A and B are shown apart, each in its own frame.
Chain A
Amino acid sequence: MSTPDLQTGPDVSTTSAPSPTPPPPAAAVGGAKPRRRGGKATGPRYPAWLAAPLLTYYLVIFVAPLLLLVAFALATQADSFAGEQYAFGFNLSNFEAVFDGLYLDVFVQTFLLAAGGTLATVLVGFPLAYWMARHVSSKRKMLVVLLVMIPFWTSFLIRTFAWKLILDGNGAFAGALGIDILYTWKAILIGLVYGYLPLFVLPVYASLERMDWTLVDGAKDLGATPWRAFRQITLPLTRPGIMAGTLLVFIPMAGEYVIPQMLGGGRFLFIGSVIQGQFIGASNWPFGSAVSIALMLILSAFVVLYVVSALKEEQFGE
């Protein structure tokens, strides 16, 4: 079972980001393991049963629903509304249907959008986090962090709807500026960046905050250009934070349903809408489950590739 591990990846690296030498996420995965690498435990050793609450939590909240999803994905839908709606078994046809041309297209569209959204979030979020960490006086830092988080206190739906009013070409704001991008992919992209920005900014800010900035000063003293110092010192040292941030943003964006619906006017089909439609519109739980699992597997593959390549780079950097 590799999926749960991968899902916890970002959380783990978020919490470990501040430590100067973060353990690779793969080793930190699964709080169940009482020992660290090769048994070289440095701290006090705790009995294994202390992990029981966490394990129970994962079994109930994550593993059980996942198994249920797998069972549904392998089930066959009945031909009639009368009687049992599903025959459980080992039917792979739902998965075959996922790799039908239509859904592959939708997957590609979805990942392109999520990648675009993540990139835009990095471009907006990294400078913001950098500014927060470097240029805000330590007295005001708390205030700025608070300002980043405050939008989270309002319903996501309401905030997205607010963008509908802001971007409406007939509305007061966009109308006055002559902007008419509501119901286009641009509006979706703005909504994505806005909605997920704090999830990226906070881990990156945390890693920039804890960084030893004397290293950068040293590099500059030794003749490095600011860009080179940034590339060779700041970037590698904040990589865990950036990785956590991008994963925290990319994964939910790939399953995003509300933003494309509201700001894209429902005219863009992403995989989140397909899943919703299969479960609710067509009542086809087996196929909806198969699409969900396919999405999870593809995302997991992305994450593994990403983590592995990022770790490799880190080693070269060292």
Chain B
Amino acid sequence: MKHGNDEIRVLAPESMKPRMDRLASLSRRSMKDHGLQVSRREALGLGALATMVLAGCGGGSGGGTSTKAAASGLAGKPLESDLLIYNFADYVDPKDIKAFMKANAGTTVKETYYASTDEMEAKVKAGGGDYDIIVPGQNSIPALGQAGHLRELDHSLLPNLKNLDPAWKDLDYDKGNKFSVVKNWGYTGFYYRNDVLDTQPKTLMEFFEALPAAAAKGRTNMLEGTTLIIGNAMIAMGLNPDSEDPADYDKAVKFLQPLAKSIKTLDASTYQADSEAGKIVLGQGWSTDMAKIAVANKDVTCVAPDGPAERWADNWCILADAKAPVAAHAWINYVLDPKVDLREIKFTGAATPNAKTWELPGAQEIRDNPLVNVPSEKIQKYTFILSPTPKVLNLRQQAYEKFRATR
């Protein structure tokens, strides 16, 4: 493609370039014949659009989603100049952002950060911020999707979606990947000082049961948050963490209240450093953090629980009012490339839903770490917490307050 001011950036499979170019020159010529002057850029846009519509979009690689593509109206459009990603800090390798900008000259990618999903949700719901991409956990997606904050994904612009493991596609919280693509996944487990504790808890219930004895020996910590306390207790008890029955929440509170004194701190922001320093004798932890804790302190045993536990997934989503939807799709497609994704998981240390990434030679270390890439027979017993209705959020919040008010 000639580089000049009539350059046009289009997200489409490489193989389609000659076809677009040909169509562009054809349409340009025919317009000229009719006495219309069009620039190469306009013609190329037209050509791309025509290719998409005529050739069943995606040139055979996306496949079967042509109607959706036509509906989104994004196919063939050039990438916008500014893409703003609203994400957790250190959750994307800055080198990949640079590489993306190099490959898509003219598009600037910027990242701003949030400390918690709650913070992100509050900002998105309030509107404003000009974000294009957000990275919500699975339990934010029902709320954001139903409220119309998320843009339906155009699968024809995400040919790399085919790389995903089917186990991480079409999930309960987003059937058909209408709004989201899993970025990384993990679970909530626990860890303990093996030189301090007399027991070796293996299940989530055993974790709760070990709290009183552990609290007598040092600091115990649970992660601050309603899903982490109430949701995890309900999962351990075999209850549905998204129950709409107030009685279930009463049961969870009754279960937790006697333990309240044995849970010395509720902290999710600094617990990793504290546990690496050995200051926490028994605590709840996210898999990505635990992988680092296990390496940093040999006296700490990290556990991916046997039996029921919470699993989570962080997802790429595009906001409904995104100003750069084409570039946003391009970015998501870019990070679904196994080679890029490998760099990403090496940077974040989190498990990937990308089956092709695991096959790459460099992925071994993370793939074979059972704390990160939990065996599938284990993960199948893990549950997503979804928070499908305001009622569930309210019941959970109230149960959490009852627990926290217990001395």
For A316, what are the chain B residues with a Cβ–Cβ distance below 8 Å?
Answer: none
Interface set, chain B 377-404, CB cutoff 8 A to A: 389-391, 393-394, 396-398, 400-402, 404
Q: Give Cα distance in the complex from A80 to B142, angstroms.
A: 10
For A109, what are the chain B residues with a Cβ–Cβ distance below 8 Å?
Answer: 405
Most chain B CB within 10 A, of A78, A85, A269, A278, is at A269
Is B265's CB under 8 angstroms from A265's CB?
yes
Q: Does B90 contact A (CB under 8 A)?
A: no
> Which among A79, A106, A277, A284 is the interface contact of B389 at CB below 8 angstroms?
A79
Q: Does A153 contact B (CB under 8 A)?
A: no
Q: Does B313 contact A (CB under 8 A)?
A: no
Task: Give the distance to chain A from B258, nearest Cβ to Cβ, in Å.
Answer: 15
Given A81-B146, A266-B265, A277-B400 in contact, is the A170-B390 Cβ separation under 8 Å? no
Q: Does B118 contact A (CB under 8 A)?
A: yes
Most chain A CB within 10 A, of B144, B224, B391, is at B224
Among B45-53, B119-127, B190-198, B351-359, which stretch is in contact with chain A?
B119-127
Q: Does A281 contact B (CB under 8 A)?
A: yes
Q: Does B162 contact A (CB under 8 A)?
A: no
Is B401's CB under 8 angstroms from A274's CB?
yes
Is A282's CB under 8 angstroms from B397's CB?
yes
Is B263's CB under 8 angstroms from A281's CB?
no
Q: Give Cα distance in the complex from A297 to B389, angstroms.
A: 31
For B225, what are the chain A residues with a Cβ–Cβ distance below 8 Å?
Answer: 281
For A74-91 the 0/1 string (1 means CB < 8 A from B) is: 000111111101000000
Is A269's CB under 8 angstroms from B404's CB?
yes
> Which among B147, B265, B397 is the interface contact of A267 at CB below 8 angstroms?
B265
Is A269's CB under 8 angstroms from B147's CB?
no
Given A81-B143, A269-B405 in contact, is the A284-B394 Cβ separation under 8 Å? yes
Interface set, chain A 279-299, CB cutoff 8 A to B: 279-284, 287
Q: Does A234 contact B (CB under 8 A)?
A: no
Given A80-B389, A106-B405, A269-B405 in contact, is the A183-B397 Cβ separation under 8 Å? no
Interface set, chain A 151-173, CB cutoff 8 A to B: 168, 170
Is A170's CB under 8 angstroms from B277's CB?
yes
Q: Give Cα distance in the complex from A170 to B280, angstroms.
A: 11
Q: Does B343 contact A (CB under 8 A)?
A: no
Task: Give the distance to chain B from A2, nearest Cβ to Cβ, in Å.
Answer: 29
Nearest chain B residue, comparing its CB with the CB of A170? B279
Given A102-B402, A265-B266 in contact, is the A281-B397 Cβ separation under 8 Å? yes
A contacts with B, residue count (CB < 8 A): 31
For B245, what are the chain A residues with a Cβ–Cβ distance below 8 Å?
Answer: none
Interface set, chain B 96-124, CB cutoff 8 A to A: 118-119, 121-122
Is A277's CB under 8 angstroms from B146's CB?
no
Q: Does A105 contact B (CB under 8 A)?
A: yes
Q: Give Cα distance in the complex from A268 to B402, angstroms.
A: 11
Is A267's CB under 8 angstroms from B405's CB?
no
Is B219's CB under 8 angstroms from A183's CB?
yes
Nearest chain A residue, comparing its CB with the CB of B260? A267
> Which among A79, A105, A106, A265 is the interface contact of B391 at CB below 8 angstroms?
A79
Task: Give the distance to chain B from A263, nearest Cβ to Cβ, in Å.
Answer: 10
Q: Does A273 contact B (CB under 8 A)?
A: yes
Nearest chain B residue, comparing its CB with the CB of A264? B265
For B147, what are the chain A residues with a Cβ–Cβ distance below 8 Å?
Answer: 81-83, 85
Nearest chain A residue, comparing its CB with the CB of B222? A266
For B390, what are the chain A residues with a Cβ–Cβ distance below 8 Å?
Answer: 77-81, 85, 282-284
Is B401's CB under 8 angstroms from A102's CB?
yes
B residues apposed to A, CB below 8 Å: 118-119, 121-122, 125, 142-148, 219, 221, 224-226, 263-267, 277, 279, 389-391, 393-394, 396-398, 400-402, 404-405
- Report the 3 A-B pairs with minimum CB-CB distance, sorted nearest first: A265-B265, A266-B266, A282-B397
A residues apposed to B, CB below 8 Å: 77-83, 85, 102, 105-106, 109, 168, 170, 183, 265-269, 273-274, 277-284, 287
